[in-house]
Amino acid sequence: MKRKILGSAVAAAVAMAPALSPAATNVSDAIVKLGVLTDMSGTYSDLSGPGAVEATKMAVEDFIAKEKPDFKIEVISADHQNKADISANKAREWIDTAKVDAIVDLVTTSTALAVMKVANEKNRVSLVNGAGSTPITNEQCNDTTVHWAYDTYALPVGTARAVVKQGGKSWYFITADYAFGHSLEKNTSDVVTKSGGKVLGSVRHPFPGSDFSSFLLSAQASGAQVIGLANAGADTINSIKQAKEFGITPKQSLAGLLMFISDVHSLGLDATQGMYLTTGFYWDRNDETRAWSKRYFERMKRMPTMVQAGDYSAVYHYLKAIKAAGTDEAKAVMAKMREMPVNDFFAKNGKVRVDGRMVHDMYLAQVKKPSESKYPWDYYHIREVIPGDEAYIPLSESKCPLVKK
């Protein structure tokens, strides 16, 4: 398989890395190989896709510049087309032929679950950012997978709780008909009922979708105050656009249960103002997030989503763990990833638990009115910081076989 080496600046930096010596890091083939497997052109390409590849390259560049490792680093990438079989086959090819050490991003739950299994069987690391379902670190967890940016348990802790508190008591779900959508609907339903609301029903749409008219009409007929969109990316964007076209909003309100800044940018503030969402990252939150995001913007001409920022953070932490462990052997690296705290622009005092969940604060955001936005990409009010220990499934409730009760 032909390998894609990093750009000239990174290649030059890699070439200057000191020669491997017997006392140096024991890296197989004297090179760490990262494979970014993502949706490069489909439903999730804006929130992940090429931006995930670029964020990974940035992490490698910064790690080389700051940590000066004694091993080389290579990044390759591929489009998994949101298909589990393509993802699993590509993972096998990369590991067996290209000697890939870690597979990065894995947007779409079905692809993540398929790759996690292959990587674990072959003792390789999966750094999951794009996929969101809780089984990744719950029922189907394994000891070489890390789940970084968010999950479907954390999202409704912010959004659904806030919407019910604001008076949105009755809900109806429009749900992407695959593992992610099912997980998000279930987790959100639990939060709605615990918060004093009720669920009137749901309807499931094919993934990916384009025509949401029949599903929106079912939601309209339910009379629910809130239509919960248990989907993401282009599916969420199209749902919101068509709800406005059919006059469903503002009579009924929409809750985007997984919305990204790329979605808000695509739709515009007129269509999204006032909506609540929960995110693991916002570019304009503080000086540190702004500094990194502006560097990303210079390369991509758009601000990063939490998935893309999370890819950088996870890759950098993984590379630090290799240096600290003195090897790229998966289980030794995972032990170091759990041992070391995560302190960067993405997370402060983050921690990788035994189940592979990286626990960090989440943020309840509300989309600004057009009149409140003062400069490009100034889209959110941060209404609440949700501590990591509240945002994620407690280990006492975990079904992960790695967790000893």
Residue labelled with tokens 């439903």: 43
Mean pLDDT for each consecutive 10-residue tract of the chain (405 residues)? 37 38 68 98 96 98 97 97 97 97 97 98 98 96 98 95 94 95 95 96 92 95 96 93 90 93 96 94 98 98 98 98 97 98 98 98 96 98 96 96 87
C-alpha span between 157 and 190 (Å, rounded): 10
Q: State if pTM tops 0.75.
A: yes
Residue 25: the pLDDT is 74
CB 3 within 8 A of CB 74: yes
State CA 103 to chain mean position distance.
14
Residue 405: the pLDDT is 59
DSSP 8-state assignment for residue 19: P
Nearest Cα neighbor of 314 from 181, 155, 150, 158 is: 150
Helix (H, G, I), strand (E, B) or coil at 107: coil
Residue 24: the pLDDT is 54
First to last CA, the chain: 45
Can you list the domains of the chain with their CATH numbers? 8-151+285-359 (3.40.50.2300), 154-282+362-385 (3.40.50.2300)
Residue 7: the pLDDT is 39
C-alpha span between 298 and 302 (Å, rounded): 8
The two tokens of residue 367 are: 């989309």
